[in-house]
Structure 1
């Protein structure tokens, strides 16, 4: 039997999700980060969904998303309303899910050519 590697197109994709790290293409990241199809913003200074404020919105908006996926770790945890409102009042959709679900959804939307940004929160021992 012949096996072949089916690689996604020319965009950054999530290859693997673990409780304390996420692999983007072939690089393992272990601090919270932002991901768009063109760019990774490493060391996003967020350690918990509950700590997000409207001040955290600008870093995500710099990536020009039409939809934002917030991965909150191994379990879904909703951030404060002020953070969510920062996107909704600009007409940008935001979905909150665990990191594994956010990664799957991100890969699907990025593969479709959508302007998606995934914001992944990794455990507080790994982010400031």
Structure 2
């Protein structure tokens, strides 16, 4: 296989995800191309049948591209928006997860009345004891 042959570095369900991957690779100096984005935009139900939207790179850049695409930036995002990664429950010391309290009743009201009543709250819920903390 030639070094200039295009190989798949990643597959995505939606074109916007592939475009983000392409721009990330190009920011790192790797030439990348999005394949089948227009087809999936026209008929998005074909995405799984076609193998998704593919991001292709040259064979010589494949390992570096996969390493870049597999990098987890979650801690950077959490620190940027001010979420403490090690937040603990005030009652039991368990791990907190993002949770929206009252979402299910709000959805049922929307189905029954035909218009939304927004009475839900965003916050964190303890995985262990279920304690809700409003943000």
TM-score range, shorter chain: under 0.3
- TM-score by structure 2 length? 0.21
Structure (1/2) with the larger helix percentage: 2
- TM-score by structure 1 length? 0.22
| Greater Cα radius of gyration, structure 1 or 2 | 2
Whose RCO is larger (CA < 8 A, sep 6+)?
A: 1
